[in-house]
Structure 1
Amino acid sequence: MDDILHGLATYLSYAFSLKELPNNAATIVKSFAFFTAVHLVVGPALSSWLSPATFGKMNKRQRNQWSNRVVALVHAIIIVPLAARCASNPVLERDRAFGWDDPSGTVIAIASGYFLWDTLECLIHFVDVGFVIHALACFTIYTLEFRPFLAYFGTRCLMWELSTPFLNVHWFLDKTGQTGTKLQLVNGVLLLSTFAGARLIWGTIVSWRFFETLYTVRGQVPVGYLLVYGIGNVVLNLLNWFWFTKMIAALGRRFTSSGGAKPT
């Protein structure tokens, strides 16, 4: 099995000029398998134990959405600390376009496995086109980093996931009858703060440096890479701003209709 996987990864590495893919293919597959297991087995089991009254009454589609949130929460908890450890990596700092080291490669491989799961999940259980675009863009961008290319920015953009735990906790509070409570209000403040800080402010700063680097090496990489990364970065940033406005509107409606926060 390992030989087949390595052979396939080697073929893809030659076909798409992904030099570092063979060394990280096993991690991608393990990551995909792990998050699939969380989605299909671990998440439902824990949810049935922790929230039997709510999860037990859900239909198949609702349980799938719940389990998706569990996977996203687990991924964020894992990936943010790992990505933060790469933030001061001197190897990547010296060469923001083509720098590479194995620890950062492992982080990118874990993220690639997650975004592979996310892409397939969004396509199989279609809910919103924005989710499909986000998942597919992330999977493509992180997979192409095995050229190696822009690993410096890939690890930094994973810090966007800092807001994800609060987003999913907010959703779980809604589903467990705690809409408008003080707990949800505090979580909502943390959600908006981390989303604005990590995705909008930090994301804009990183994206500015990203496009500076992309312009500097425009003659050293295929045009297709420039288009994928340039368009992908713009799309992801636009989605962040779009979702931020939707979150503000949704939170405003919840707490206005509930007459303020309720006791927890």
Structure 2
Amino acid sequence: MGDVLSEYAKGLHDACANASRPVADFLGASKLPEHADTIFLSFLLFLAVHQVLAPHFSKKWFPVAYGTANSRGKNNWSIHVVSQVHAVLIISWAWRCLWLEELDKDKVSGWHHRVGALNGIACGYFLWDTLDAIVNFVDLSFVIHGFACLLIYALGYRPFVAYYGVRCLFWETSTIFLNIHWFLDKTGRTGSTFQLINGIALLGTFFFVRLVWGGYISYNFLATLYATYRELPLTYTLVYFVGNVVLQCLNWLWFGKMVAALRKRFAGAPKSSANGKTHNGKAH
């Protein structure tokens, strides 16, 4: 049985590597084929959670909140489940990459196979995220966010700035609390003490992790990019510069929206249902 699984895994790895080489050559991402199977399996995992696992278990565990929602509401629910699974998974794996000596020694082109797996999980998620943002279109900012993240982590297979990529993934810490806030709304706990405590944790993690620490990381990253841009293809310089600025602007935009939403929640706003409009773990 073990030999059969090994042969299957090797066949999948080789097939994904061969299929991804044209993309890797186009992007100049030499490490991508080695981890293309991780991207593929990650995408399938999040697709399965979205389409199968989240609907199945949500119907059992939340028969009222989920069961009475319309089709759009059920899809929003499943999207938040996927977002939560990704946030927990990616933060746990990023923690294992945080103190890698190879990255500390070379913040531009340092590499480790753990980072390849981490990028693969991220690329698989952001591929799913982008496609879902297009299919279930709500706001252009979510399409831009998903595609920008996908491109940035795909180009990281050059290898390029893995040191900063690992640290930026900790931004997802606030997503855990945002999803909890959303589920509390949909299960009739709007304005509860639990939601208040979670809301404080949400604003605190978003402000300190994304805006303060994230801003510090972004500043250092842009300084590194400026120091090395002559050695890089123009595509890399533009994508990483524009992508970094866009993502930081979106963080400030979403922070303002979250503050406004939390004020409304605790100012006597009526309870909402699972049919409300949110997308991919981000309120809007």
Q: Name the TM tier (shorter chain).
A: over 0.9
Residue of 128, 139, 158 corresponding to 1:117: 128
Matched, 1:54 2:69: no
Matched, 1:131 2:142: yes
Alignment match, 2:205: 194
The whole-number CA distance in structure 2 between the counterparts of 1:208 and 1:133 is: 21
Kindly state the Cα deviation for residue 6 of structure 1 after the two structures are TM-superposed.
2.0
The whole-number CA distance in structure 1 between the counterparts of 2:26 and 2:204 is: 43
After TM superposition, the structure 1 = structure 2 runs for residues 91-240 of structure 1, keeping only pairs within 5 Å, are 91-240=102-251
The whole-number CA distance in structure 1 between the counterparts of 2:189 and 2:129 is: 27
The whole-number CA distance in structure 2 between the counterparts of 1:13 and 1:236 is: 24
Q: Deviations over 1:131-160 (max 9, x none)?
A: 111111100101110111111111110000
The whole-number CA distance in structure 1 between the counterparts of 2:26 and 2:176 is: 37
Structure 2 residue identity aligned to 1:77: V
- Counting aligned pairs with the same residue, the percent is 47
Alignment match, 2:75: 64
TM-score, scaled relative to structure 1: 0.95
Query: Unaligned stretches of 5+ in structure 1?
Result: 260-264
Count of matched residue positions in the alignment of Structure 1 and Structure 2? 259
Kindly state the Cα deviation for residue 190 of structure 1 after the two structures are TM-superposed.
0.6
Runs of 4+ in 1 over 4 A off after TM superposition: none
Matched, 1:256 2:264: no
Residue of 21, 36, 40 corresponding to 1:10: 21
Alignment match, 1:76: 87
Alignment match, 2:278: none
Structure 1 residue identity aligned to 2:103: L
Kindly state the Cα deviation for residue 10 of structure 1 after the two structures are TM-superposed.
2.1
Q: Deviations over 1:77-117 (max 9, x none)?
A: 11112112211111011111111110111111111100000
The whole-number CA distance in structure 2 between the counterparts of 1:73 and 1:237 is: 21
The whole-number CA distance in structure 2 between the counterparts of 1:243 and 1:13 is: 33
Q: Is the 8 A contact 2:110 2:160 kept in 1?
A: yes
Q: Is the 8 A contact 2:134 2:143 kept in 1?
A: yes
Q: Deviations over 1:37-81 (max 9, x none)?
A: 000111111211221111111111111111000000000011112
Alignment match, 1:241: 252
Query: Unaligned stretches of 5+ in structure 2?
Result: 1-10, 271-284
The whole-number CA distance in structure 2 between the counterparts of 1:16 and 1:170 is: 38
Structure 1 residue identity aligned to 2:218: S
Higher relative contact order, chain-length normalized (CA < 8 Å, sep 6+): 2
RMSD: 1.2
